[in-house]
Amino acid sequence: EKGNFKLVGLDDEFEDKLLSMACEAAEKIYEQFMSDMPDVISLEHKEQLEFSERILARYSRPLFLLELMIHTSRGFLADDINKEMESEKTDEVFCKVLNGLHARGCQVANEILVLLKNGFADGADARWRCLHEIAVTTNFIAEQGSSVAKRYADHCAVTSYRKAKDHNDSCSRFGYPSVPQNEVDRLKREHDAAIQEHGEDFAGCSSYGWIPTNIISTRNFKELEKAVELDNLRTHYKAACENLHA
């Protein structure tokens, strides 16, 4: 529309004609583009399918073993956790936290499998980074027991309140609705209750405020890896980070 542009140095009549020609040209290009794209996309789908078939033919054994491992983990380990949850002696929060982490780990592992099957090795490596973080966190909570599991669960109140505030700070720029004030107030009460129960440092260290300082004084992922003796994968982890950042 003319109101959105101003061509400096042109009289109004010539400017109107020029903008009209530009709009007509844009419409023709758009129509041609939309006419050609179904065939182009169909060809790309065919090429991607053929590429995926070559990957499966070449790497069928390791991909099968990965899928078998995921299936086994999803089945046997889930059964063990569910049995623990049914036991009267087991802490419910502890089991729910481990079950949730296990479920998320299985989901990420399946994402890795899909990416590998379709030739996106760098993407799969980046998702392995997430899976490694889940594995480290799960091992730490499993070793430390119910008290740390509760801190991990309660820390959701801290992150949820932060997310709500961050969302409301930027939502208007995208035309998104804001989180209602009554919901923000509820999240603030839960946030404050968690801080009151666990201490002021519970809100610190970004995502790792749930880690007790008497166990790890410098709370970050590198120290978390060391605590569960998975820091031997630090080099692989740093390499995977390269596929996440610009």
Tokens of 190: 């839960």
State the pLDDT at residue 2.
45
Instruction: Name the region of 162 (left: φ>0; alpha: ψ -120 to 50; beta: rest).
Output: alpha
Q: Among 19-33, 47-61, 215-229, name the one with the lowest average pLDDT.
A: 19-33
When pLDDT is cut at 50, 70 and 90, the band that residue 16 belongs to is confident
- 119/113 Cα distance (integer angstroms): 10
Is the pLDDT at 154 greater than 60? The verdict is yes
Convert the pLDDT of each residue in 120-136 to its tens digit: 999 999 999 999 999 99
Tokens of 217: 């004084």
Query: Which CA distances in Å does 26 have to 1, 19, 22, 34, 189?
Result: 12, 10, 6, 12, 53
When pLDDT is cut at 50, 70 and 90, the band that residue 106 belongs to is very high
Kind and range of the H or E element at 237?
helix 234-241
State the pLDDT at residue 85.
64
Q: pTM of the full predicted structure?
A: 0.81
